[in-house]
Amino acid sequence: MTTSTVPPVPAVPTVPTSRLRIALAQLNTSVGDIDGNCDKIVDWTGRAAAAGADIVAFPEMAVVGYQVDDLALRKSFVRASRTALDALAGRLAEAGHGDVVAVVGYLDGSEATERRSGRPPGSPQDAMAVLHRGRVIVRSTKHHLPNYGVFDEFRYFVPGDTLPVVRVRGVDVAIAICEDLWQDGGPVSAARDARAGFLLSINASPYELDKDDVRLELVRRRAAEAGCALAYVNQVGGQDELVFDGDSVVVRADGEIIARGGQFTEELITFDVDAARADGLPPAGPVADGITVDHVLVSDGPAPEREPIAAPISERVSDEAEIWGALVLGLRDYVRKNGFRSVVIALSGGIDSALSTAIACDAIGPENVYCYSMPSKYSSEHSKGDAAEMARRTGVHFGTVPIEPMVRAFLDTVGESVQQLTGVAEENLQARVRGTTLMALSNQSGHLVLANGNKSELAVGYSTLYGDAVGGYAPLKDLFKVRVWELARWRNKAARERGEVPPIPENSIAKAPSAELRPGQLDTDSLPDYPMLDRLLDLYVEQDQGRDALIAAGFDEEVVDRTLRLVDLAEYKRRQYPPGTKITGKAFGRDRRLPITNAWRERSLRP
Amino acid sequence: MTTSTVPPVPAVPTVPTSRLRIALAQLNTSVGDIDGNCDKIVDWTGRAAAAGADIVAFPEMAVVGYQVDDLALRKSFVRASRTALDALAGRLAEAGHGDVVAVVGYLDGSEATERRSGRPPGSPQDAMAVLHRGRVIVRSTKHHLPNYGVFDEFRYFVPGDTLPVVRVRGVDVAIAICEDLWQDGGPVSAARDARAGFLLSINASPYELDKDDVRLELVRRRAAEAGCALAYVNQVGGQDELVFDGDSVVVRADGEIIARGGQFTEELITFDVDAARADGLPPAGPVADGITVDHVLVSDGPAPEREPIAAPISERVSDEAEIWGALVLGLRDYVRKNGFRSVVIALSGGIDSALSTAIACDAIGPENVYCYSMPSKYSSEHSKGDAAEMARRTGVHFGTVPIEPMVRAFLDTVGESVQQLTGVAEENLQARVRGTTLMALSNQSGHLVLANGNKSELAVGYSTLYGDAVGGYAPLKDLFKVRVWELARWRNKAARERGEVPPIPENSIAKAPSAELRPGQLDTDSLPDYPMLDRLLDLYVEQDQGRDALIAAGFDEEVVDRTLRLVDLAEYKRRQYPPGTKITGKAFGRDRRLPITNAWRERSLRP
């Protein structure tokens, strides 16, 4: 997306303006690492000061990271956040950056213990403070609390009802937190009523495919509603299932993009903006939605003349490149922030483990990726060959562990002492011997085990608990199978375009999927073909459509019933699966919550 | 607890009364089994009719079960609930029970799709309907939505703001739903303002140790506030981590208990109550907290003279008996409602697997319990002997699977192809071979695997992922180790008092805990002794106390730091553990939610 798509600029009356310089610190913080996050805030405020910024803005909850979950209910944690925030003001001044107005998200709360309806004990707050010359000059609390999808903020926070407005170089800058921008009314309307000259929004907004477009439209609409330019700063980085993409953006009231950050990269986005100078004070009483303006003066005179700065406007990338960026950063941060350095992967020669390996190579380098082929007597020659070829192309560590001796020992010993193992018991046994082998290598060498399952498999439970489901992270967890193939082709094409060797053997992409747990087994023995399965799953899982709607959409009744039954019965398996990077609206993680014990079937209602 | 603890009865002015007969159906419903639940409602309404009841009350959400989680956001599910509720009115009349006023909890919602701040799409409602003579005569929606601990009702429901008041035999009966009783103001105050002659509260209130005492105090206080007798009906039964204990209770306005159901049993609690006859209509406009009274007339004349009925007042039991009841019902329902018939347990000779086995025997009968001793070369003779003795005493199926051949195959094969497995890798390997063996037997014979870990172990991560953590359910998951011993002694004592053989060998209770994964290993090599560890965990986990408070409480600094570090780092392992019956305020289930990637350590803040 480029600025050429911006609508025509409407005529605006000439008002006195001041040219503010603002820096958005699109940072990768770590949940719970208060010391490290504060060090980063000091460091990046220094960079903003060096660029001559009047204001530097950090993401929502930058001091503690996001999401902190039940840590918000732990008093010692809230106290640590408050203490660190207060110390930060002094640290910035000592470092010589006290003149920069720093807008910092943090966790606040009280020592009170009483529980009232709808108020968590200690009344934690998703808060923001403005730091200047060694002091906290104003604080505020998020007004709208999201409580859907991956968000549970009614569980953790109490809402605020003030809008901080800081006058900097004569411009009244209003500050809102995240969801406050996504909901109608509230702080955006209050900013308009307060006649703010600029609106700053600090965020921790998780990535979803196409969300950058949604976000831009939203930011444009809110800028128009507020009647002033708007800057949106977001964090980047992986946090368990979530990955934050950055995509910080600044638009004028007419919607024109002034600056835009990239996705999945840490950046300081510095820009100049001509903002209306304030004329008098904002209203003293409540404005929109009962919100009161909390006005603070930093400096009233206009900004000095200075050399204009060139603001970055990052280009948008393809869907595949965007998803790839999410997968790579999601995995890299999970490995790094959990204290691992290397990963171990079961490389089967199939497409899923090949794509996992390619992602891992891009995330932490092939020198930190350990792949093992673990053939059984049912493994095909092409499987073993394709696994070795993948390793050769990428340069990962590679070894082979035949599983037949272990499988034989189980079959013989259990067979002699209790009963013969046959059918699914024998099939799953092979997967579990592989899982146990991976965990032994992980325990011995400290690698994080990656699980290679994709979303289509997980949806229908086509995996072995404690077998191929073993691992600490599952990079493909939120990718339907058809998307796995698309990304493999895209990654190979990108390599060719850069003159590099495509990492994934063509044969791993082209061959028919098979678990190879019995002779001649194919996925299609048990499942509809993947293009149809994925469409069905998209409707049932992502869009929550019922059985009748699926049949009305033209799917075969028998296929619908069989698939829905598989999905409904696989909840426990999915629950036990490792976390993975969330790409869509309803990944099988914290945003889709179903009981395990659940007799509901779409067809169970009496006619 | 007996009625002798009731405070003295205050003098009340004499008003005309009517003697109502009410039946509370303390039912075990199943989540999602709409057909089965409705069949039960018809059946139990018939029993109430046979007992001459004017009113029968079913628990909150009886039509769909509780908790339904994200099923509330699925339109086809909401539609099924609404359809079933409407049909139920007709079914009751057809069955000849139309004259009984039936109060039934169900899930309601609309077909609307718009998303507004704080309103889930489709606006689902935790609703209640009163059925009479084939029609729904009034509906209402829960007013206070709990959103803490195991409850996420802001995610699922929109609140209601009416109080239904049904005049039956001249008495105005007000009806509230669950949390409406736990919060100040709201429906209870509205019932008082509506001058209700009786208050009925329908509930799905999960068990917690000592909650019966809390509940009784609450019910008494609310009865006093409402100024009339109050009946509280609760469901029973297991639902994933939760178990509902029943404990339905009826008190007069002065606090005296009129009737009380048992815990963990399905019961129809029928009682007579002399309630004030209504004098005129309740106020037409809003009463307390903006709630409007929705008044419906069923019958205005007083109740006929009839033979008084003897209401049950169940005695309270000891803490151990209460916990045992929760564990047994929690496991039985998890097995049954998930379609299993039998369980398989690794019986080591230690206390944890012995207690699991005893619970399983009480839950589903020893004939459905399959135990296996899986000795390694490190297993002691007394372990093998104690396991066999436990099996002999209880009559469970018993077999032995030596794990040495499988362990040897792993050590040799992985050692030859990649690297030697030593230390923790070799220890965990033994646990994983056992886990794989159990799963093979489960796959072959359809048993549900039970994991035997207790809360102390889980807290500090003293277990092997995919090893002893394998299973579909973990009965001891929310029991600290000291409690495990207490329950074992209690269960044996109870057996002796009944003249039965105590199920658990004394040696399993008496010996020092050991994982037996290396020669001479004891739990105390890695952990503080259990009485101290459990006290520390109680403060840190249950009460969310910080490091400084623990040291101030007298715990050794080194022990505190070591233990807290273990707890903080074990989040992923706990997340992957099977669900288990929740006994306390913060089981390691859905009510304690922490990020996996989390750098926060209690000691991490700079001094």
Which is it for the CA torsion A60, A62, A66, A72, positive or negative? negative
- Please, which residues have CB within 8 angstroms of residue A431's CB and are 6 or more apart in sequence? A463, A464, A467, A468, A515, A517
- pLDDT tens column, A349-407: 999 999 999 999 999 999 999 999 999 999 999 889 999 999 999 999 999 999 999 99
- pLDDT tens column, B281-330: 999 889 988 999 999 999 999 999 999 999 999 999 999 999 999 999 99
List, as ranges, residues 197-236 from B with C-beta within 8 Å of A: none
**C-alpha dist (Å) from residue A36 to A33, A88, A586:** 5, 12, 32
Q: Does A4 touch chain B (CB under 8 A)?
A: no
Which is it for the CA torsion B425, A416, A423, A399, positive or negative? positive
What are phi and psi for residue B79, nearest 5 degrees? -65, -40
Mean pLDDT, all residues of chain A: 94
Cα nearest neighbour of B415 on chain A: A401
d(CA B201, CA B179): 9
> Given pLDDT bands bounded at 50, 70 and 90, which one contains residue A448?
very high
Using a CB-CB distance cutoff of 8 angstroms, which residues of chain A are in contact with residue B401? 413-414, 417-418
d(CA B424, CA A90): 46
Distance from CA of B128 to the nearest CA of A (A): 20
d(CA B306, CA B19): 9
CB contact (8 A) between residue B593 and residue A337 = no
- Please, which residues have CB within 8 angstroms of residue B187's CB and are 6 or more apart in sequence? B143, B144, B163, B174, B176, B177, B180, B181, B291
- Give ∠ CA A516-A522-A527 in degrees, rounded to 5: 125
Position A10 scores a pLDDT of: 53
d(CA B566, CA B562): 6
Distance from CA of B498 to the nearest CA of A (A): 34
Tokens 């609760």 -> residue:
B234
- The partner residue sitting opposite B547, judged by closest CB among A76, A545, A599, is A76
3-class DSSP string for A349-395:
CCHHHHHHHHHHHHHHCHHHEEEEECCCCCCCHHHHHHHHHHHHHHC
Position A212 scores a pLDDT of: 85
Mutation choice for A interface testing from B154, B426, B436 by most A CBs within 10 A: B436
Residues of chain B scoring pLDDT < 70: 1-13, 113-118, 604-607
The DSSP result for B178-191, as a single string, is THHHHSSSTHHHHH
**C-alpha dist (Å) from residue B488 to B390, B485, B535:** 12, 5, 20
- Please, which residues have CB within 8 angstroms of residue B3's CB and are 6 or more apart in sequence? B256, B257, B313
- Residues of B with a known catalytic role: 60, 142, 178
**pLDDT surpasses 50 at A2:** no
**Residue A178 annotated as catalytic:** yes
Which is it for the CA torsion A492, A496, A497, A499, positive or negative? positive
- Please, which residues have CB within 8 angstroms of residue B475's CB and are 6 or more apart in sequence? B327, B330, B331, B355, B356, B359, B360, B450, B452, B580, B581
* Cβ count near A317 (within 10 Å): 16
Between A and B, how many residue pairs show a Cβ–Cβ distance under 8 A? 282
Give percent above pLDDT 90 in chain A. Answer: 89
pTM comes to: 0.95
Position A607 scores a pLDDT of: 41
Helices (H), B554-601: 557-569, 571-575
d(CA A384, CA A24): 49
Cα nearest neighbour of B72 on chain A: A594
CB contact at 8 A, B475 and B450: yes
Q: Which amino acid is at A454?
A: N
**C-alpha dist (Å) from residue B585 to A201, B211, B489, B542, B582:** 38, 10, 24, 7, 8
Using a CB-CB distance cutoff of 8 angstroms, which residues of chain A are in contact with residue B34? 600, 604-605
What six digits make up the tokens of A97? 């950056």
Mutation choice for B interface testing from A407, A597, A601, A604 by most B CBs within 10 A: A597
Q: Does B42 touch chain A (CB under 8 A)?
A: no
- The partner residue sitting opposite B440, judged by closest CB among A83, A403, A410, is A410
- pLDDT tens column, A246-292: 999 999 999 999 999 999 999 999 999 999 999 999 998 899 889 99
- The partner residue sitting opposite A35, judged by closest CB among B418, B544, B606, is B606
- Number of residues assigned to chain A: 607
Helix (H, G, I), strand (E, B) or coil at A399: strand
The DSSP result for A410-443, as a single string, is HHHHHHHHT----HHHHHHHHHHHHHHHHHHHHH
- pLDDT tens column, A461-492: 999 999 999 999 999 999 999 999 999 999 99
Mutation choice for B interface testing from A444, A588, A592, A601 by most B CBs within 10 A: A444
Q: Does A597 touch chain B (CB under 8 A)?
A: yes
CB contact at 8 A, A41 and A128: no
The DSSP result for B292-323, as a single string, is EEEEEES--SPPPP-PPP---BPPP--HHHHH
Mutation choice for A interface testing from B182, B396, B600, B606 by most A CBs within 10 A: B600
- Please, which residues have CB within 8 angstroms of residue B514's CB and are 6 or more apart in sequence? B350, B380, B521, B522, B523
CB contact at 8 A, A484 and A320: no
Using a CB-CB distance cutoff of 8 angstroms, which residues of chain B are in contact with residue A144? 117
The DSSP result for B98-144, as a single string, is TTSEEEEEEEE--S----BTTB-TT--EEEEEEEETTEEEEEEE-SS
CB contact (8 A) between residue A594 and residue B71 = yes
CB contact at 8 A, A411 and A376: no
The alpha carbon of residue B78 and the mean position of all alpha carbons in its chain are separated, in whole angstroms, by 24
What six digits make up the tokens of B12? 């009340």
CB contact at 8 A, A189 and A289: yes
List, as ranges, residues 327-356 from B with C-beta within 8 Å of A: 333-334, 337-338
What six digits make up the tokens of A313? 């406007």
Cα nearest neighbour of B419 on chain A: A441
- Report the complex ipTM: 0.94
Q: Does A472 touch chain B (CB under 8 A)?
A: yes
* Cβ count near A34 (within 10 Å): 26
Position A5 scores a pLDDT of: 42
